Structure 1
Amino acid sequence: MRRSLGRYELTRELGRGGMGVVWAAYERDQGREVAVKLLPPRGPGAERGTLERRFLREARLTSRLKHPGIPAVHDHGSHEGDLYLVMDLVPGRALDSVLASDGPLSVEHAADVARRVADVLAYAHGEGVVHRDLKPSNLMITPDGEVKVLDFGVAAALEPQPGETRFTAANATPGTVVYMAPEQAVGKTVPASDLYSLGCVLYELLAGEPPFTDASPFMLYHRHASEPVPPLAERRPEVPDGLRKLVEALLEKRPEDRPASAEEVAALLAAWSPARTQVQSPSGMSATTTFAHPRLAEMAALCRAGHPARALEEYEDFMATPGLGRADRLAARVGAALCSGALGRSREALEELRSVLAEQRSLLGPDDPAVLDTRYEIAVLLVRTGQRHAAAELLRRLADDEEENQRAEGFRRGRSRSLLERLNRMT
């Protein structure tokens, strides 16, 4: 087997599928590791010049996408008959591997992954690029919990124009049938097709399997186009009604019946996937106040990375530490409550945070960032438990306090106002 591609030394195979083989490679000129995707051989009789020109055109288009959630494309071309893309080498695990080993994600983690993907789609659609092959194996979870969307433009490059011969393996329709929108299966791909695929992915993150899984491609086409989606509530009863309805809206058969944009989907998902806040050192310095223990940030990161049960156990062990300062104990109680919420115990988490808030105000003062964070998390839990009126009232007061509070810097400024606006749109 050949181990080089021009200036790229192929070091190990990372994965393969119907749309190519991905290798880790060493780029000698730059002295760095990259990922090289080799596209599958052309189909019999394919017009090589036409197809290669269109592939390179699509590669140039996608190489201009600049977003933290999209690996950068460094190079593309043809070498000894093989078409290739050279991209960032993304560390971490593909989402299909995560699902296979760990099972369905927590409601909060699933919504957070989908929100991040929707953010990427909103950007790409704004640049005129549709993904066309969104699926768990094209979504990477990095070690720090970020989500990267792979293979932008590859399906577009393989989609034949009228009169052209396909050059995908076995002349198949570009994309993956298990996650393919009904209109895409008949050659009419639009931005809303990506939203349908995102709905299939989110369904799988919550239920453990996609909505339709028949082995026959023809039957899958038929089921996506004409059969009702199996009720998510039967496979995962604890999914909040609002999130379940959003999944159903994403999986509408007609593109015009789905949400209007990926940006709208990201905004709706934020109600179940609030941006996690780093546990910070208490800033109210008094005789009883200590700086936050370094383990608090580690446990918060563990919960954010999709391991709330393990993080909860660590929080409980931490709170049993002899001589633990009061501020650290309160911060740990907040973290443990958020883990409980991520595990679906939203009402239990809400009651705990309300209890903690009273003590935080007494110890740290009403303007401390930790107090503002707890109030925000309470509002999010009110939304998730269906108490939207109470959540709106809390967010209105909190938004004013955050805007007036000089210590509410960075991500705190505007977050409550933004969530309130999303809540108003949802209602």
Structure 2
Amino acid sequence: MRRSLGRYELTRELGRGGMGVVWEAHDPGHERQVAVKLLAPRGYGSELTTLERRFLREARLTSRLSHPGIPAVYDHGSIEGELYLVMELVPGRGLDAILDDEGMLPVDRAAGIARSVADVLAYAHGQGIVHRDLKPSNLMITPSGELKVLDFGVAAALEPHPGETRFTAANATPGTVVYMAPEQAVGKTVPASDLYSLGCVLYELLAGRPPFTDGSPFMLYHQHANEPVPPLAGHRHGIPPGLRKLVEGLLEKNPEERPASATEVRALLSAWVPDRVVTGLAHPKLAEIAALRRSGHPARALEEYEELMDASGIGRVDVLAARVGVALCVGALGRTREALDRLKSVLAEQRSLLGPGDPAVLDTRYEIGVLLVRTGERHAAMELLRRLEGDEDRDLPVGDPRRGRSQALLKRLDRMS
């Protein structure tokens, strides 16, 4: 039934869960549609005033977050004891619904989603904010394929008291415990807790189910804290060994044994994401060799690139990607001038075949800029990077982690000057 909340006209319910209900609403003050989340503080009794203060504090913090992967927070407050957040209305489907319909996802798509989440976490953690409740229902895929991470700050506002297990708190739900880090369940949340939850999500994207699925919140906590993670190979064959190892690292029981940061996770996931330079093309071997090169084995990777280019049936676009890989290996081996000449040769063919705005062309131009810096041709590098900065802003989608890289390198060069 239609109703109002202050100036907001609630038009239709979008969904509900253990933490409350989300409505689509009209904001007549700004003539826009918004999402209004009403929190359900039932069970807090006399603690409601404390909860309200904590909620308003967290809402103020998270409203400062500005990232393409985080919906904007427009307003927050309390009306007659009802806590609410007013946010950007994000069209799309929850990742939980996509998993229900499609089951396990292709490796490149799963890695791409996880990398987008890691990019958001890297930004949020840099602002001192931990999500605390990362799960598929809090991940929205827009019609254009972009990912939005929902509900920053909500779990922090409803955090149990120190020493109280999360699954006995009034706001706990089994669906949350399915993705919860062992230390978080007993009130010790750290940025690495988000990485554990991301590991659970990535596991589900690859296996079609989370690592632990027992229906009892207590048993789920026990499994997260004590049971070995069921091997991904038991659910699906053909997952790249490096990706399996990354999932295992994210799901380490001890947060100190997980990857050092979301930034590191984002970089590692790039080996399996289709970015058209090495991983978005038809031949699956390209992703494996790229991962080998990035892991510090350029000589071995160089041999494998050359073997791939000699293989029968490899397409022209794949050959160009392999030639880019060869040049990067040569550069990593100290033959900078040779690497630069190789990349310039590839660039002309990439522009002709793919077009000047293709991400692979932009990536090759950036690598040429990096090599020009290494050869001491700083003026030429800065001219290239200035042109590339504008082209990346125009041709790369919002949220692409490559946007801003040329600007960052230019700033470093300016400081060096």
Partners of 2:165 and 2:102 in 1: CA distance: 41
Within a 5 Å distance, the mapping from 1:328-343 to structure 2 comes to 337=282
Q: Secondary structure at the match of 2:225?
A: helix
Q: 356, 367, 372: which is aligned to 2:316? A: 356
Deviation at 1:341, TM superposition (A): 8.5
Q: Which moved more, 1:174-183 or 1:72-81?
A: 174-183
Q: 1:414 matched to which residue of 2? A: 366
Query: Which amino acid is the alignment partner of residue 271 of structure 2?
Result: A
Partner of 2:56: 56
Q: TM-score, normalised by structure 1?
A: 0.70
Q: How far is 1:340 from its partner?
A: 11
Partner residue in 1 for 2:235 = 235
Q: 1:416 to 1:213 in 2, by over 3 A?
A: farther
Q: Answer whether contact 1:124 1:130 (CA < 8 A) is retained.
A: yes
State the Cα distance separating 1:274 from its structure 2 match: 3.9
Q: Is the 2:163–2:187 contact (alpha carbons within 8 Å) kept by the matching residues of 1? A: no
Match of 2:197, SS state, is helix
Which whole-Å CA distance do the structure 2 matches of 1:227 and 1:410 have between them?
45
For 1:3, the equivalent position in structure 2 comes to 3
The equivalent residue for 1:45 is 45
Residues 133, 175 of structure 1: 8 Å contact kept:
no
Give 3-state SS (helix, strand or coil) of 1:16's partner.
Answer: strand
Q: Secondary structure at the match of 2:45?
A: coil
Q: Could you list the per-position Cα deviations for residues 378-407 of structure 1 after superposition, in whole angstroms to 9, with x for gaps in the alignment?
A: 77xxxxxxxx989977x9866664479697
Q: Which residue of 1 aligns with 2:200?
A: 200
DSSP-derived class of the 2:271 partner: coil
**Which ranges of structure 1 fall in alignment gaps of 5 or more residues?**
278-302, 305-334, 361-370, 380-387, 419-427
For residues 48 and 232 of structure 1, what CA distance do their matches in structure 2 show?
43
**Which residue is 1:384 aligned to?**
none
Q: How has the CA–CA distance of structure 1 residues 175 and 256 changed in structure 2, closer, same or farther, with 3 Å as cutoff?
A: farther
Q: Rate the CA distance shift 1:353–1:257 in 2: closer, same or farther, 3 A.
A: farther
Gaps in structure 2 of 5+ consecutive residues: 288-303, 371-417
| 1:279-316, Cα deviation, whole Å (9 max, x unpaired) | xxxxxxxxxxxxxxxxxxxxxxxx98xxxxxxxxxxxx
- Structure 1 partner of 2:412: none
CA distance in 2, matches of 1:232, 1:20: 34
Is 1:70 the equivalent of 2:54?
no
What aligned pairs does 1:249-288 form with structure 2 within 5 A after superposition?
Answer: 249-276=249-276
1:144 CA drift (Å): 1.2
2:21 is equivalent to residue 29 of structure 1: no
Deviation at 1:43, TM superposition (A): 1.6
Deviation (angstroms), 1:84: 0.5
- After the TM superposition, which residues 290-305 of structure 1 pair with which residues of structure 2 at under 5 Å, given as runs? none
For the pair 1:219 / 2:171, whether they are aligned, the reply is no
Q: CA deviation at 1:234?
A: 1.5
Q: Flag the 1:160–1:374 CA change in 2: closer, same or farther, 3 A.
A: same
What is residue 367 of structure 1 aligned with on the other side?
none
CA contact (8 A) 1:46 1:165 kept: no
- Secondary structure at 2:89's aligned position in 1? coil
Q: Does 1:126 align with 2:126?
A: yes
Map of 1:187 onto structure 2: 187
Alpha-carbon distance between aligned partners in 2 of 1:352 and 1:18, rounded to the nearest angstrom: 55
TM-score, normalization by structure 2: 0.71
SS at match of 2:242: helix
The match for 1:110 is: 110
| Contact kept in structure 1, 2:249 and 2:259, CA below 8 Å | yes
CA-CA distance at 1:103 after TM superposition:
1.6
Structure 1 residue 127 displacement after superposition? 0.3
Write the letter of the residue equivalent to 1:9: E
Aligned residue pair count: 338
CA contact (8 A) 1:70 1:150 kept: yes
Q: Distance in 2 between matches of 1:195 and 1:139?
A: 15
Cα drift, residue 102 of structure 1: 1.4
Distance in 1, Cα, partners of 2:95 & 2:72:
19
Is this contact kept in 1: 2:3–2:11, CA < 8 A?
A: yes
User: Does 1:14 find its partner at 2:21?
Assistant: no
> Judging changes above 3 Å, is the alpha-carbon distance between structure 1 residues 32 and 271 closer, same or farther for their aligned structure 2 residues?
same
**Aligned equivalents of 2:66 and 2:222: distance in 1?**
37
Aligned partners of 1:74 and 1:47: how far apart in 2?
26
* Alpha-carbon separation, structure 2, partners of 1:203 and 1:220: 16
**CA-to-aligned-CA distance 1:82-126 (integer Å, 9 cap, x gap):** 101111111111111111111211000100110110010011001
Superposition deviation, residue 54 in structure 1: 1.3
The DSSP-based 3-state class of the residue aligned with 1:270 is: helix
Identity of aligned residues (%): 68
Whether contact under 8 Å (2:22, 2:35) holds in the other structure is yes
User: Aligned equivalents of 1:79 and 1:169: distance in 2?
Assistant: 24
SS of 1:219 mapped into structure 2: helix
CA distance in structure 1 between the partners assigned to 2:110 and 2:24 by the alignment: 28
